[in-house]
Amino acid sequence: MQYYQPGSLADAVDRLKEVDEAKIVAGGQSMMPLLRQGLISPDALVDITAVPDLDEVTASDDTVEIGALVTYSELLDAELCADLDLLRDAVEAIGDVPVRNAGTIGGGVSHADPAQDLPPALQCLDAAAVSFDGDGTRRHDLSEFFLDYYLTELAPHEIVTGIEFERPPARAGGAYASDTEAPGGWSTAGIAALVVPDAEDGETCVDARLAYCAGAPVPKRVPDEIESLLVGDRIDRETVDEVAMAIVDDLELIDDVGDDVEYRKHLFRVMTKRAITTALRRSDAPPLAEAPR
């Protein structure tokens, strides 16, 4: 195996193109376990940590750009995470301090583990992954980006250079709720919610976005017909229950050894309710309305 540390994106793409089976490594938190367990044996590792200009968080009033090499800890320290509860929740749910110190946002997204905590939050923010393939840059809608377990739209020599999204309006509220079997472990159910109340009356939900991880082969934006149940009125408890049940029906859980599908469904029901009610509480809308009797 060869180890390359290219100093530019173009150089990195060239290295990826010239070797049959090359893998990109950045923070190492996903790639190294695969290597160590013998699950992959690439001919070359292309370490992109020396590529310049990929480690900045750039946030204006409207748009946010996060470089691929920004670590989760750096993201948590950025002012952006103080403003965006949804993003902060999701980053805090990732692994533990040392994992967040090394793991990068570009690496996580490219690795495409279906149980990763951050993609659902990014999907709710309508984020795009920006990539470079040697000829030009492409933008990938993160709700379409993940194709299957550990599989994305990326070509083998294509490198994610960053994540971009537009800031949700200040009156919106967001939250990520998840559960893990052990502290620091993979999420067994994770759901992100973003709700936007009407600018005029302050309580009618005009936009609702939901996405989940660990419930399907990919981190998944919830189908529009489920999200739209929350839109058009003030959100009440009955509707939240209905949405939680609909999400449980949408899951593609595998009945695996040691896994209890019914319990996982229960977790998704609870986490969905928690995410939506917390998002609502953090928005400018009044708290959850009880269903009319």
Partner 1 sequence: MSAIDDITIELNGEEQTFSVEPGVPLRDAIRNELELTGTKEACEVGECGSCMTLVEGTPVKSCLIPAHQADGKAVTTVEGLADRSDDGEDLHPVQEGFIEEFGMQCGYCTPGFVVSSVAMLEENPDPSREEMKQYLKGNLCRCTGYTKIFDAVEHAAEQYDG
By CB under 8 A, name the binding residues for partner 1.
1-5, 25, 28-29, 32-33, 35-37, 44-45, 47, 49, 73, 95-99, 101-102, 183-185
Of 262, 267, 173, 174, nearest to 214 by C-alpha is 267
CB of 3 to partner 1, least distance (A): 3
Is there a contact between 13 and 137 (Cβ–Cβ < 8 Å)? no
Q: Report the residue number, 185 or 223, with the smaller CB distance to partner 1.
A: 185
Q: Report the residue number, 102 or 246, with the smaller CB distance to partner 1.
A: 102
CB of 286 to partner 1, least distance (A): 30
Q: Report the residue number, 29 or 152, with the smaller CB distance to partner 1.
A: 29
Of 248, 214, 209, 252, nearest to 230 by C-alpha is 209
In 36-172, where do the E strands start and end?
44-47, 57-59, 63-67, 128-132, 137-141, 146-148, 151-152, 159-166
CB of 14 to partner 1, least distance (A): 13
- Residue 38: other Cβ atoms inside 10 A: 7
Q: Report the residue number, 35 or 246, with the smaller CB distance to partner 1.
A: 35
CB of 28 to partner 1, least distance (A): 5
CB of 279 to partner 1, least distance (A): 23
For residues 122-159, b (16+ Cβ closer than 10 Å) or e, as one string?
Answer: bbbbbbbbbbbbeeeebebebbebbeeeeebebeebbb
CA–chain centroid gap for 229, Å, is: 23
Q: Report the residue number, 167 or 186, with the smaller CB distance to partner 1.
A: 186
Enter the DSSP assignment of 105: H
CB of 99 to partner 1, least distance (A): 6
Q: Report the residue number, 22 or 122, with the smaller CB distance to partner 1.
A: 22
Q: Report the residue number, 37 or 60, with the smaller CB distance to partner 1.
A: 37
Distance (Å, whole) CA 196 – CA 181: 32
Of 96, 36, 91, 47, nearest to 69 by C-alpha is 47
Q: Report the residue number, 95 or 197, with the smaller CB distance to partner 1.
A: 95
Of 66, 121, 124, 118, nearest to 95 by C-alpha is 118
CB of 19 to partner 1, least distance (A): 12
Phi and psi at 165, nearest 5°, equal -155, 165
Of 174, 181, 236, nearest to 210 by C-alpha is 174
CB of 49 to partner 1, least distance (A): 6
Decide: helix, strand or coil at residue 186: coil
